[in-house]
Every structure is written in structure tokens, then in C-alpha cells.
A and B are shown apart, each in its own frame.
Chain A
Amino acid sequence: MDEMSREASQLVKAGRVAFHPTAADRARLIAAVTGTATLSAGVARAAGAQRSLRRIFGVTHAARLLVIALPVAAAGAHWLHVRELSPAVVQRALPTPPPPILVAPSTAQRPLPLEPQAVEPPHEPSEPERSGSTVSESSKPGNDVHQEVALLSKAQAALSRGRPQEALEAISEHARRFPHGVLAEERAATLVRTLCALGRTQAAAEELKRVEKLNPTSAYLARARESCGL
């Protein structure tokens, strides 16, 4: 494979260092996601201190920009080896954030053909910028994945209690709020089982066929097929 230029290789090398988690990151998040360990007092204190700093920086946004702009400007001059540039030129060159990149939404998964299809604004977290770094913060309402889990759990619980209509409502809500959610595949499988429970076997088979085209190896759908006898 072709070698990249020195500039490109230097950027990649910087990324390998910058994108590596620290030992504290690892300890904090492994403890958080497994739930088998509690945060040590030291890590908790560090996390608390970090959040406090973030709050301070959040309040003094101008100060944050200043803190960033000055060393970055100096680094720019060094990186470019352009010592002749005036500070004003360096300043103008460096700290501008990149413009947003617009990407077409993925078409890999379409919203399920559920009823009703009420139009609602897309879900957004209530706070302007999430600063969550702990389990408690990311577990609060506003976390999309948690809300996805809650909705599908509600649907599955209703289904297991023999209330498919309730399940369908929860699935519809999930489809409306999270058309491209990370649990869309699980939603599809739950929908198939729900349609079967409602006696809508033909609709279940059609839905199964449609979703299997997108993910033919899905274990979720295989189980849904088995449970429905399709």
C-alpha cells in the first residue's frame, strides 16, 4: 500500500495518541457499563473535579476560547515553520472550527409502516450540550438509547402479558421517535411477534420478508419467525 506524505503520517500519529483512552477512562467506563464495580473514591473525585471544570468552562465560554486560541495559534506557527507570519495572520489561520458536514440520512432502514404516523419534531436531549461522564448522568431521561430500551421493554412486557395492542402502540412510538434507532432491528422483530399475536399473520409475514432483505442473518428475526411459526 502506498505510503502517505509526512504531513498525513504526522496527523495520523497524533490521532493514535489523542484517541487513546486513559487508564482512568477505562476503569470508569468498565465499572459503569458492567455494574460489577463501583467507582473508586479517587476516580469519582477526579470525575467530579472534571465535571466542575467543565461547568466553569461552560460558564466562561470566552475564556475557554482564549485558552484554546493562544496555544493553538503558537502551535500553528511551529507546525508550519512559518516564522515570518505575523501573529495576526497566525491567529486568523488557526482557531476557526470546521464547518458542519451535511450527510444524507441513511437509507438502509426505513421507518416501519406503522399507524398512526403522527408527525413530531425529532427527539432532542433537553439540555443544549450533554456533559454526561458518569452512569447517573447518562442514565437520565434524554438519553436516546435508554429511551429506546424503555420503549421496547414496554412493548415486550405488554406482549408477554398478552396485550399486543399495547405492544403495538409502544412499537409505533419507537418507530416514530427513533426511525433510525440503534434498536431498530429489535423493534422489527418485536413488531413481527406482535402482529402474529394480533392474528395479522399476513402482515407479520410481509414485515418479516421486508426486514430480512435488510438483514438476512438477524438472529432476532429468526426467533420471531420461529415464535410465529412463519
Chain B
Amino acid sequence: MSEVGSLSNGVNPVLLIAVPLGLAFAIPLFALFWKGAAKYIPPAALAFNLVVSVLLLPQVLEKPVIVSIGGWQPPFCINLVAGPVGVLFSAIIALVGLLVSIYALDYIKEGPTEKYHMLYLLLLTGATGVVLTGDIFNLFVFFEILCISSYALVAYLRDKAGIESAVKYLIQGAVGSSLLLIGIGLLYGQFGTLNMADIAEKIASASPISLFVPMVLLITGLGVEAAIFPLNAWLPDAHSSAPSSISAILSGIAIEVGLYAVARVIFTIFGASSILLFLALLGIVTLLIGEMCAFSQNNIKRMLAYSSIGQIGLILFALAIATSYGVTGGLFQLVSHTLAKALLFLAAGYMIYQTGSLQISALEGMGKKMPLTCLAFTIGAFSLVGLPPFIGFPSKFLVVRAALATKETYFIVLICLALLCTVIEGAYFFRVVQVLYFKGGKTNPGPKEAPVTALIPMFIFVVLIVVVGIYPKLVTDVLKSAASELLSRTEYIKAVLGSIL
């Protein structure tokens, strides 16, 4: 392995992929000797990833770390690009993954648990690989690792709903990946390279009409996983039938990684500005559909799943503004959605476990029986709606400000629609909160509080949501440099290919 760039001090980003991948496949071996060992490996691997990402962060804010694998220089090798975007995402993936894996220590009791933990770690390895890689085919491979392990995890409970949703998800996901691969093949046929920076550099010389087909194929293929509007039929089923810890990861990480890949393709590879207005419209349509469907749900997990579709739409809209403010706001909204939605699914998981029902009406009076879990749920819901002092407020504020700052009627009309959706969002979340606290006075001794292993991750999520909500400055610097990495293609190309140009 040869290292290019400033890697003299500090850690190697390859570890972010190699360590969890190796440990994931070691889990069945550990389980041979001691069956209980399996569940402690994902938290250990993800804690390691979190530490490495945090150590890398100050270094990559100055200069992206480029790692070439196999002793060749880019563009002839598979390379990792640990820029601000990549390391920010890998830190979020590791953080959320770590907290959810702590939650799963007690939550996952039935079934072949060692397989659950192995697939879980593989899913997060795939997600980390997607955000760090600089090679478009490697992106496809990691994307498939993410997808295949999530198909299997959706079906983990082996119940009717889980199997049916997994089949739906698998068919749509497989068609999406095939389209993605055709797009990659077309790009390779035109440019003879798979390195994203190299493609981006050569793309200026190609005729726009020959770029249109690969671009559409790539966006469609990745859009299936990112759940952009016409491609999101699998999401509410898959997210609501999976075990709650997996729903948290799918809603909090998998679709965000898909969205990252869409943004990378649009901004870095194609530098396509003409398609942005269309994507902004698509984002708002996704938002409207998601929120309206969420409003009409009686099943709490389906409601949360539809709300994820809505949030993805808002993030896509913010990214499509394509100004520095817009992309910063989009990434901020992405972070806030990840934290809040993971918290909501985790809290809902134990409420469903204790009541044995997915219906919202079954949660009456839970505020008295499970006060801490319900408090966590309420904070997550308030943050998602965008109430201060939670993280959802500064992130939504930034998106609105970015849309207004464009001074274009198009974006201003769309952001008005987005704010209308926030009202719908508020309506259905407050309805759940009302059911939790103000309905049903029955004092039958039934549900108990969630166990400590579930309360600790929820508590950490709540602390993060409140602290970042009060001091958004903690993350905005990182988000700003991440946004500038996404927006400035020439910088990215120079960072990767600088050694040979």
C-alpha cells in the first residue's frame, strides 16, 4: 500500500473499512467458541471507527487524505478520498452505528443473533466504504454490500411482513443496482477510467447528449436506495417491518448514504447544474408525498418511515439549491434527521415491544409507564418538526435561509411548500405525543421502562440533539468545509490527481 499526500502523521483511513470488514467475518468464528461474544464485536468495531474518524477530522479539514491501494497512483488504482464529506459521514455512521449496536445488545434476543450482528457490521462497513471511496466501481461494490445486508436484515424476524417487504426491497434494489452498473459501464466506455476525479476532469470534453444517459442511469440507480419520490415504494414496508434497531439504521444511515452518492454523482462527477431545478422539484414532491402519507398512518413505524421519505425530500431540495448555504443546510438537515430518526425508532422499538402493538392508539398513557422512553421520543419528534432548542431548528432554519437567499421565485415558492409540510409533520407528531401523555388514564401495571442498554444510547442521542441544537457552531464549520468540497469540483480533482497533473 502506498500513501500519497500528507499521511506522515495520523491514521490511515483504510482502517475505517478494513477493521469492521475483518471483524464482521470473524464474528461467526468467535461465535463458535462463545455464542455471547458476537454481540460485543459491532460496538467495539464501531467505537474504533468513531475514534479513527474523529482523529482524522482535523487533518482532513486542512487537506483531504488520498490513499491509493495496490501501489499505483490515481487514476490507475482504487483510491480512498477521505475529505471533509467522507470523514464527516464516516463519523456519523460510526456514532449512530455504535449507539444502535449498544441498543441491540438486549433488544435482539431471538433468531440467529450472530448472523444479525455480522450483517449489521457489514451494512455499516458498506456505508463507510461508499462515503470514502474515490472510485465509482468500488462505490458500486460497497453499495451492494450495504444493500444485500439490508435486504437480509429486513427479513431477519422471518415473519410475514418482513419477508414480503424484503422481497419487494430486493427486487427494486436489484433493478436499481443493475441500472447503476449500466451507467458505470457507459461512463467507462466513454472515458476509459473509473476514478471519479478522472471522469470529472475528462467530462468537460464530452458532448452533453452522451452524458445524459449515464447520468440518468446513475441517479435512478442510486435514487432507489435514496428513496427519491417515484422510486421509494419499498421504503415504508422495509423500514416498518424490520426490527426497530435495523429501522433506525436504515432510516438514519442507509438512505442518507444513497443521497450522498446522488450528490457526489451530480456535483463532483457531472457538475450538472441544469438538472438541479428538476431535482429541487423532485425533492419537494417527495417531501409532500412522504408527509401526507405519514399523516394518514395508524401504524407508528410506518408513520416514521413515511416521515423519513419526507425528510429525504427536504434534504434533496436543500442540496439542489447548490449554493454554499444550501448544501451546508442540506448536510445539517441530514445530520439532524439521522440523530432524530434513529432516536425515534429506538424509542418506538421498546414501546412496541412492551405493548405488543404497532398501532398508535395502543400507546395511550405510555407517558406514565415508560417516562424516560417517552421523553426521548418526544424530544426526537420535536427536533424533527424543528422546534428550538433542538437540532432540527437550526438545520431547518439554515435550509429556509438558503432558499430565501437565492432570491429566485422558484425556490421561494418551493420552500413555502416545504414549510407547509412542516405543519403537517407537526400535526402528526403532536398527535402521537398527545396520545402518549394526555390520553388513557388506565393504571394497569403493564409495560415497564426500557432496559439500561436501551436508555443509554437514547440518552446520548438526546444530549447530542439538545447540545448541537443550542450550539450549532459545534458542527457548522465541518459542514461548511464539507459543502465546499461537494461544490468545488476543481479542488476535488486537484486533490486526487494533483500528483500526476
Decide whether A and B are members of one complex: no
Q: Which residues of A contact B (CB under 8 A)?
A: none
